[in-house]
Structures are given as C-alpha cells and as structure tokens.
Structure 1
C-alpha cells in the first residue's frame, strides 16, 4: 500500500534499465500497490491509486524509448484481474490478465481476483478518463495475446503460471514467441530457490527462447519475505541472476541476447519444428518499435553463468535478517528487545539480529544512502557520526534481557552474557523471583492454598501452574522494558519485542500461551529445531559468535522446574515425549503429505520399522495427535512469524484447521489399533512414551 514508495522504485528501475541499454523492462507482480495488499484489493481505492501511479509514469516520460511491463490490478467489464500492463512511449499497448491464480499455502488470489477464462481471446478495454485524456486513447487491447514488434515477439506469464503443469510458455514458444517475461511475487522458503531456477531454465531448454523473471524483494507487510533473485535465461542456460537477499530497494539486472540463437535452436530440433507447425497461431498485437540493435556488430552478448544457491544456513541468516530490517525501518520503532535465555532458540534469534546489523553496516559502507538514512534515524546517530561497526549499531538498536529465576542455571546465564557481548547488544541481567513469589503469595492469600512443584510433593496441576507463572511474567517484564528502556537511556521511541519459539514447538503446542512466545514478531517461528541447530553451528564461525557452539551443544531446556544439585533436571524432549527429529517428521507428514493419524501411522510403519516396534510407533503417533489437538488453540495466538518452513502451523495464513478437537480421536485411534493388529509380528505389551509428560506445554 506504499504507492508513493512503489512508484519511486518503479521510476528508478526504469531509469537504471535505460542507462544499461535495455529496451524492455519487466517489473514484479502487482508492483504498484504491492503484492500483499490482501483485502485492500477489494477496495476500489487500491485500483484507482494504481492507475494514478501509472499516469504519473506516462506523464513524466519514463516510458519513452523503452517497453515497460508493469504489474497492477485492473477492473475489466466488472471483473477485477491481476494484470501485466505493457506501456511504450506514453501509450498503453496491451493489458494481459493472469490466467492461473495462486490459491494454496500462503496465497488467496482467488479471494481478490478472477483468472482470465477465455484463452486466445482479446477484448477492448475502456481506459479511465485520466489515462485516456493523457494518452489520447479511449481503449486498449485486453486479454490473451502476444506482442509483435518490428524485429521480435514477446509475451508474458505471471508468477504461478510458471509452476502450472500446462504452463503458457510452452504454447507461446511453439507459437513463435522469442522472449517470455514473468512478473512474480514469490516468497522465500528454505531450499526453494533451486526449484524456481530449474523451472525457469527448463522453460527455455525444451524449445528455446529467452525468459525474463522479475520478483518482489523484501517484507511486503506480512509474514512473507520475497527473495528477489531476478534472472534471465536463454536456451536452457542462465545468463544473469540478481541477489536473493539484500537491503537495496531497487536491483536491476540486464542481459544482451542474440535472438538468432533462439531461432537456430528451434530449427535444429525436428520435434520442436513439427509441434510448432501444428500450433495454432496466437492473437498478435503489433507494436511499431525495434527491440533489437541489429546495426552494431560490436555488441557483445551475455555469456552463461552458474546459478548461485545459498546453503540453508545462509538462508536462515540473511532472509529473516532482511525481514527484520524492513519491519524495523517501516514500523517507526527504535529497536528490538529480546528475552535471551542462553538456549538455542533465543540465541539463534539474537544471532539473526546481529546478522541484520552486519548487513546494515556493510550496505552503508557500500554507499547505500537509503540504508544509511534509515540507520541514522533508528540508531539516533548524530550528524557526521560514522556507521561502520555492527557491534556499535547493535548497542543502539538491540536490547537483550536475561530473566533468570531460582530455576535458571549459571551456564545459561553465562552463555547469554557472552553472546550479548559478541553481538554488541545492550544487555541486562535480572532475577524475577520476587515477582513469581508475589503472584504465589496473592494466590495463597485468596485461597489459603500454596502450590508446590512435583519434586516438593505437589500435583501435576501445581507443577504446570508454577512453571507458567515464570513464563508469563517474563512476557510482562519484556514489554515493560521495551516501552521504557529508550526513555531510561535518554532516547526516543519504543522497542519491538522479539519472540523465539520455533516451528516445532508451535506445532506441538510446547509453549505457554502468552509467555515470551507472545511477542511483536518472531523471526524463527517458521524454522525447525533441526535447522536452528545447523544454523547455530554455521553462525558460530561465519557471523563471528563462537559461543553459539556451546549453545548448540547444550540440551534444550525451559529451566522452569527446580534444579537438582545445581544442575538442570528438565529437558524439552523428555517433557514433550518425543525428539525434535520425530516432531519434524510428524509436522511434515501432517502438513506436506496431508496425513491424518491413520495414514501417518501407515507411513511411519515403513520409515521407522528399523528403529521402533509397531506398537511403539502407534503410541508415538497417538501421543503426537493428542497433544497437537490439546494445544491447537495456541496456534490462534502465535506471534506473527517469518515463513520459512512448509509445515508451518501458522493458523492465520498458512494452516487453516480448526482449533477445537476431540483430543481422544476415538475413531482414528481405533483404526490405528486395527492396523496394528494386522502387523505380522505384533509386539507383546505396549510402548509408553508418555511417562513424565506434564510440563509448560499444556496451558
């Protein structure tokens, strides 16, 4: 919804494209309003403002001498479409509506737009008065067509259409189109980029052609980070690739191609020739313009390159770091505050913020004036003060709190302190026992009952309640300090509180509702525990935070139960009754493989038969679904999290399931018992993986 900012970015991209000699410029999907407007697309204002932005581009002459392919919503004949608008020399040449919409996972395009349902047909679109008065056009072509220039033919796909089984680029290539563009709004997800690049290169590998892919980059106001990586491919080879993560608002990549190579490849393969000969010619719209510079023999074409793919650990560092920076600079906040326990989750969150500070300092050092302006405002630097030290920047914009109790160990306190020193955060250590005791005393005063831990003879209910008091008070203290610490330090503004519950804990419900998981945003809420551990190992050396090796080696623990002889007696995996590795498997089968209890049991019988007897696998599946159902309501209050994993339990966008279940699953569990009874060698007795369960995870 940042029309002013988006228009400025489109202007800059066109200017850069012209300066680099381009004659055809392709922008991302819905670039004028932004892709993630969601229900704002239902407001006529959004469409109206997009036309106003386009009018500015035409009026100011930005489209003179260059064909611009711009993404925006358009209402045609009473139907709202997601469109590509082709403009040239202050004229609207053609409007191409999207043929296939994205309606799964994080996407709900069908809620806002309709797909073009008449392939190979073109209407006349009546232009808004403010446009027709400027361009001297009353109408322009609207529908499914290609653009025939004096020396080349181009056509477009939009995002999802690249991924569909019967992708438009096949028919377009066989129909003689040499250049196909794709304006996209594709989000970052771990290990996704190589799939996208494969699709792009394969789009031109079978029948030749040039493919231009443009993508949004940055946080568009929600849980997604669009990871850019614009690229250009020809005849199955990659010619140019933009960066996947970065702080630049605008990045333009170009390539110089010889279209004769496309024709030569197509003519060399008989099957391509034969299928092209049978192909029905698409509707063509002529544009009187030469895309190619065929007069100069000195022009050098762009040579193929190898794709650049980040390791998953690098993706976990740079993707959430960029998302955090976008959120911080746009929110008006003056920094982040993190309850830092010294455990894996909060430490990985702190390392990501440290990575963000390193990226900001690097961008400022490379001359990025926009990043410098934002950093000066957020960090409250004085005129002329250098921004050249990531630790010094962290001291200004990142606060960490160690909120210990009598149940906290000295090891976690020291790890928290060492990590804060290595990152450079403003760090405070405190004990909150007096707050816990005050709440317990209040309860005792009202009820004449004093709750005790199990180790002191208390019940399971008492044990849980005493753990939850500690967890929830940490949330209250964190928000208090986030509001007032800038004032204490003589600074203006407020801080945003960061959460650090991972995707597996959100799935299992292994968190206290409204504890420190209830923050403003959470950069690791879509990341699995296994990936977090690998990230900690990578970050220890690559980000310069060596204490993370100690963090990764320590057993995960909530530290909410009394210590035994000064040592931790509580571990997360023992509390949950399952390992994090098993929990990740349950999550992937539930969401990605769409398994209910019975089909999950059947699959795990095959995958885990070497490790567990069938009865044990049945107990594990039942145990997972019992606690998943018992805690599903917690997903409705999960802190908005960076989306990185495709089994995220995010109830608000990605994982639409009810939050009230019959936690006994009577029909499903009885069917598991039936399947178990059919196994050839049933194991005597039962595997009980639930002993000792009863931690903070249940309320």
Structure 2
C-alpha cells in the first residue's frame, strides 16, 4: 500500500446558503491541495447542510445540490474529493457521498442506514440504500454509478460508512467492506454534539479500526448549522485499535482542514476535555452562530441575579472571549457584521461584551437586595450594559383591572399562582421592547429541569428568541457556575454562588425556594434520566431509585408522582419553549427529542399502582 495523505475537512454550513456553502468547501479544498492532500473527505450533506429538514423532500432542492456539485468539480484537479449531498431518484431521496477525482465525477456512495432516534428523523427524508447494490444514473449527460461502491487511490482501497452506517453493530457496512479487503474506511458524519459523546466516538473508531484491520477515519460537520443542533467538527484517524489523530473540537472557524498520513504512528492528538469545558465551548459557539446567521446585532437578557440568567450572561461573555481567541478581533467583528473593529482594540473582550450584551434587573416588592447586587456585580464584571427598574406599577395596574372585573381583591392565600405569574409576565413586554430597539436576540433562561415539571411562567421567563440552557438540568447549572467562577476566572459569580435558587415571586416572609416548591434538583435529575431518557414507567423508576437514593420510600413515591403529574400536565409549555441547543444525552424539546401528547390521562393508572405498592 502506497503512502497516502488524507485531508479531513470540516465546514460550518447553513441551509440555503448555496454560495457560502460552496465557497467554504472550495476554500477548504484549496487549503488541502496546498498541503498536498491526495484524498479530501468532507462531512455528510456538506453541500446543503444536514439541517435542511423538509427541503430534502422537494424536487428542486436535491437538484440544486447537484448543480452545486457540478460547480465544485472543476476545482477538484490533481486530487480526489468526497463530499456529501442528497440525490433524488424518482420519488426517493438518498443521502450520498459524491466521489470526484481529477475533475471527473466517479460516482455516488449511498447511505445504507438512517438515524431515527433522539434528535434524528432521517426516514422522513431519505431512503436507505440496499447493501451490494449499484445502479447507473445520469449526471449532466454522463452516466455514473450510484450505490454500494469502493474506490482506489495510490494503491489504497477505500470505502465509506456514512454516519449512522457505523453505529449499526453487526449489520454495518464495515463488515462487507472488510470482506472486500479495503485499506481505509472513512465515516463522513453529521453527528450532533452532546457532552461526553466524543468518548463514544473514540471507542467506535478504535474498535472499528481493530475489527476491520484497516485505517479508519472520521469527519464531522461544524457549528450551529440551523438553530438547534451543534456539530463539533471532530476529526479522527485510527489503526489497529489506536487513535493516531484527533483535533480539538468546536472551532469558531468557517472550516478546518486536518491533513494526516496513513502511517501507523501517532500524529497530533488533542486532549479530551471535561464536560464543563465542552458545555462552555459548545454553547458559546452555538450562540455565536445563532447571532451571526440570524443577522441580529446582539443579545438582551433579563438578569435576575440567579443561577440561570447568570449562566446565560457568562456564556455570552465566553462567546466573545473564545471567539476572539479563535478568530482574532478583525475576523470576529467581520463575522458578526461589525466593520469598525478598531474601536475595540483597547480592551476587546469587555468592549465587545458591552456592545453585544444588554441586561436588565426587573425588580418587584418581592425581590431582594441580594439578587439585585448579584445581578449588578456580575454585569459589571463582564462588561455588559446593566439597566434596572421595578415593575410594581405594571403589576398593580394589571391586578387592579382584574380585581375590578371580578369584584374582589386578589390574595396570596387564594390566588398564589396568579399573583406569581403576573410578575413574571409583566417583565416580558418591557424586555422585549429593549430587544426590539436594539435589533437583538432576547435570551430566555429556562433550564431542562423547569421544562420537565413546567416550573416556568408561559410568556414570562420563557419569553425569548433562543433558550441557550434549556437542554441541561438545573443540577448541572448549579455545579457549572461554581466551576466557572474558578476555572473561567469569573469572580462576578461569587454573589450568585452564595444564593439559594428562588423565583422571588412570593412575599419574602413566605421564604420561597425552588426546591421547596418542587423537590431537590438532584432528585429531579435521577427521575428524568429514567423517565425521559430511558423511557421507564413510574413503577420502574421507583424500583430503581429506591436502591440508589437514600430516601424514605413514601417521600420518594411522592417525588415520582409529582414529577410524572407535572410532566404530563405541562406538555403544552414545552411545545412553546423558545428554540434551544441540544447539549446533553437527551433533551425535552418535543420538536427534536421527546414527543409526548399534549392531552393525556397523566399516568393516572400507573401512579395508582405505585401508591398501592
């Protein structure tokens, strides 16, 4: 086998950005050619972007993707290129990799297995290809093969497992490729980011290279492509069960090209970072791409001084810091539409945070001085604009109108939820005004635990253009802000970390706390993992957790009952949450991970059986 130089080229693409997508592919290809790459591999669906959704079902969209491929081919001289795109045959659409060599299209390799779990819905758009089958198709007057194909470059026999193909155990194409004695298998992917997922990929690539006795390469898409899913741009190469190359994840660049040699020696191997680092980097990149792709001019945040809104504020500041580190001042500003970048030269990070992040503390008679000081000191430490005002006048106006209509005074004893909610809702119109004035994205601050049980005011704290932390649980958030204070050098979090989480919607003498209203956040996490991630019944959840948690059985039953009842009752809220990032092993967004009926009997029979146990 000859020595072969392999380029793993990741790109940050956007659906319908035909010119931009093609430009990034060509730019990455030119860089790979400059580095003398023999074979350049781009990710799955790189021409269109993976997140094109129902556009894949149209007739014109796959056709236009072929037009873009035809424009790319002249740039593929003196090298071989593999790039992903959809291919329509009659009523069926296939997910394919086009293989181009020296300016000629050699054929299309079609994906054999569709991802249908979690955030994936590929069977809606694509038809699986049958193993060992090939057909001839027309490409602008030239007949080329499409199907289960392999190729040879400089004596290296290579084939593909396109993303989900590699995860299908004994059915995966790799076994058939092994029988064909390939020297190299490459997995071009659009694999969504999740904290800790890189460890699963590493094991898959190591095991695959050992099982199939070949080099095994992997290349993923990059960035927040279409709003919810974030791709980490991971590139890997392994042989004989050993990783030879791994890049660092989650770059802010438009593309990255990593050229590796098919040699059994370690090349560059980036360290695998902690989940806290991954969360910070992924969410910061997600916010950066959402900002620039939506063509917004910044962010507005209702900063309460509590853990959730403070986390979101720090993530925006980290977006600026990490983006500057990766791109430099001029390129960072250009990508978000700021031309006069020189004015930020004195103190780029704080000056840019002050330009991009506007916060407001919206107090009531039930707010404390502690949370005000927490919000103010954090905003100042980050460099964010900080406003503060009270909304008691607005709350009083709404309340008076209702009292007049119903002919009685509202009281905390009789109207607790109503009096809490009107405060949260009264904050929303004012903060939206600020976002509109600044042409900015309004950041919602709900977390996943609140989404589980509906502990959030609809059209209040759920209001927003994007909800950055809705994909992670409150227990993780409370841990992360402790970590961030020290590891990200964010001393402004000190006051936040000294406070107990509370909505501050009841009078202070009623000593409201989140966990008093609900249950300990650590318990919510354990219940949701079993109930939502693993789809267990209430009885299963109880039988498992009674062995794992040191809780009295009656109390544990009450927590489980409360969780399932609130989960079922509040599906309508989850249907209306702002778009959020997928960051963990699972999320509760019904549009991307967990579908549940809006109307149901609320686990009535299952919870009765639990009570009788």
TM-score normalised by the shorter chain: which range applies? over 0.9
- Alignment check: 8 A CA contact 1:528 1:645 kept: no
Describe the superposition over 1:479-520 as per-residue Cα deviations: whole angstroms up to 9, x where unpaired: 011112x3xxxxxxx011001111011011111111121211
The aligned counterpart of 1:162 is 166
Q: Which residue of 574, 593, 602 maps to 1:654?
A: 593
How much does 1:254 deviate? 1.2
> 1:571 aligned to 2:513?
yes
Q: Aligned in 2, Cα 1:77/1:432: closer, same or farther, shift over 3 Å?
A: closer
Q: Which residue of 564, 573, 577 maps to 1:625?
A: 564
Secondary structure of the residue aligned to 2:261 is: coil
The aligned counterpart of 2:133 is 121
TM norm structure 1: 0.83
Describe the superposition over 1:270-302 as per-residue Cα deviations: whole angstroms up to 9, x where unpaired: xxxxxxxxxxxxxxxxxxxxxxxxxxxxxxxx5
- Alignment check: 8 A CA contact 1:436 1:469 kept: yes
Describe the superposition over 1:228-257 as per-residue Cα deviations: whole angstroms up to 9, x where unpaired: 111222222222222211210110111112
TM norm structure 2: 0.94
The aligned counterpart of 2:41 is 26
The aligned counterpart of 2:455 is 510
User: Structure 1: how far apart are the matches of 2:425 and 2:333?
Assistant: 37
- Alignment check: 8 A CA contact 1:188 1:226 kept: yes
User: Structure 2: how far apart are the matches of 1:23 and 1:246?
Assistant: 24
User: Structure 2: how far apart are the matches of 1:549 and 1:141?
Assistant: 62
> 1:224 aligned to 2:169?
no
Secondary structure of the residue aligned to 1:254 is: strand
User: Structure 2: how far apart are the matches of 1:25 and 1:414?
Assistant: 54
> 1:176 aligned to 2:121?
no
> 1:429 aligned to 2:388?
yes
- Alignment check: 8 A CA contact 1:102 1:109 kept: yes
Query: Higher strand fraction: Structure 1 or Structure 2?
Result: 2
How much does 1:661 deviate? 2.1
Q: Which residue of 245, 255, 258 maps to 1:250?
A: 255
Q: Aligned in 2, Cα 1:474/1:595: closer, same or farther, shift over 3 Å?
A: same
The aligned counterpart of 1:109 is 122
Secondary structure of the residue aligned to 1:428 is: strand
User: Structure 2: how far apart are the matches of 1:360 and 1:150?
Assistant: 39
User: Structure 1: how far apart are the matches of 2:119 and 2:537?
Assistant: 21
Describe the superposition over 1:194-221 as per-residue Cα deviations: whole angstroms up to 9, x where unpaired: 1111111221023421122111111111
**Greater mean deviation of Cα atoms: 80-89 or 592-601:** 592-601
Q: Aligned in 2, Cα 1:607/1:342: closer, same or farther, shift over 3 Å?
A: same
Q: Which residue of 456, 466, 472 maps to 2:425?
A: 472
The aligned counterpart of 2:10 is none
Q: Aligned in 2, Cα 1:331/1:537: closer, same or farther, shift over 3 Å?
A: same
Q: Aligned in 2, Cα 1:148/1:558: closer, same or farther, shift over 3 Å?
A: same
> 1:673 aligned to 2:611?
yes
The aligned counterpart of 2:3 is none
Secondary structure of the residue aligned to 2:98 is: strand
The aligned counterpart of 1:525 is 470
Secondary structure of the residue aligned to 1:434 is: helix
- Alignment check: 8 A CA contact 1:361 1:388 kept: no
- Alignment check: 8 A CA contact 2:395 2:426 kept: yes
- Alignment check: 8 A CA contact 2:247 2:268 kept: no
Q: CA RMSD in A?
A: 1.8
- Alignment check: 8 A CA contact 2:246 2:269 kept: no
Q: Which residue of 137, 143, 152 maps to 1:139?
A: 143
- Alignment check: 8 A CA contact 1:500 1:524 kept: yes
- Alignment check: 8 A CA contact 1:504 1:580 kept: yes
User: Structure 1: how far apart are the matches of 2:153 and 2:382?
Assistant: 55
Q: Which residue of 58, 63, 67 maps to 1:43?
A: 58
Secondary structure of the residue aligned to 2:201 is: helix
How much does 1:647 deviate? 3.5
User: Structure 1: how far apart are the matches of 2:529 and 2:325?
Assistant: 37
Q: Which residue of 191, 202, 206 maps to 2:207?
A: 202
Q: Which residue of 523, 539, 551 maps to 1:582?
A: 523
How much does 1:643 deviate? 1.0
Secondary structure of the residue aligned to 1:547 is: helix
How is 1:35-74 mapped onto 2 (pairs within 5 angstroms)?
A: 35-58=50-73, 61-74=74-87
- Alignment check: 8 A CA contact 1:238 1:307 kept: no
**Greater mean deviation of Cα atoms: 590-599 or 472-481:** 590-599
Aligned length: 597
Secondary structure of the residue aligned to 1:251 is: strand
Secondary structure of the residue aligned to 2:354 is: helix
> 1:374 aligned to 2:335?
yes
**Greater mean deviation of Cα atoms: 66-75 or 594-603:** 594-603
User: Structure 2: how far apart are the matches of 1:631 and 1:150?
Assistant: 59
Q: Aligned in 2, Cα 1:307/1:619: closer, same or farther, shift over 3 Å?
A: same
Describe the superposition over 1:361-414 as per-residue Cα deviations: whole angstroms up to 9, x where unpaired: 22343x7x6433124x24x63667538521110111110110111100101100
User: Structure 1: how far apart are the matches of 2:384 and 2:332?
Assistant: 20
User: Structure 2: how far apart are the matches of 1:233 and 1:53?
Assistant: 32
- Alignment check: 8 A CA contact 1:339 1:478 kept: yes
The aligned counterpart of 2:105 is 92
Secondary structure of the residue aligned to 1:75 is: strand
- Alignment check: 8 A CA contact 2:37 2:79 kept: yes
- Alignment check: 8 A CA contact 1:324 1:353 kept: yes
> 1:534 aligned to 2:518?
no
User: Structure 1: how far apart are the matches of 2:587 and 2:578?
Assistant: 13
Secondary structure of the residue aligned to 1:303 is: coil
How much does 1:477 deviate? 1.2
- Alignment check: 8 A CA contact 1:28 1:216 kept: yes
The aligned counterpart of 2:245 is 240
User: Structure 1: how far apart are the matches of 2:191 and 2:166?
Assistant: 11
Q: Aligned in 2, Cα 1:77/1:496: closer, same or farther, shift over 3 Å?
A: closer
Describe the superposition over 1:296-336 as per-residue Cα deviations: whole angstroms up to 9, x where unpaired: xxxxxx53455521211111211011010001011111100
User: Structure 2: how far apart are the matches of 1:237 and 1:362?
Assistant: 31
Secondary structure of the residue aligned to 1:514 is: coil
**Which runs of no fewer than 5 residues in structure 1 stay unpaired?**
133-137, 262-301, 487-493, 677-699
> 1:312 aligned to 2:275?
yes
The aligned counterpart of 1:277 is none
The aligned counterpart of 2:357 is 398
The aligned counterpart of 2:323 is 360
Q: Aligned in 2, Cα 1:480/1:468: closer, same or farther, shift over 3 Å?
A: same
- Alignment check: 8 A CA contact 1:25 1:66 kept: yes
- Alignment check: 8 A CA contact 2:118 2:586 kept: no
Describe the superposition over 1:438-468 as per-residue Cα deviations: whole angstroms up to 9, x where unpaired: 1111112222212122xxxx31xx1111110
The aligned counterpart of 1:323 is 286
Secondary structure of the residue aligned to 2:40 is: strand
Q: Which residue of 617, 641, 647 maps to 2:580?
A: 641
How much does 1:673 deviate? 3.2
Describe the superposition over 1:594-614 as per-residue Cα deviations: whole angstroms up to 9, x where unpaired: 112222222223323xx2233
The aligned counterpart of 2:314 is 351
Q: Aligned in 2, Cα 1:387/1:17: closer, same or farther, shift over 3 Å?
A: farther
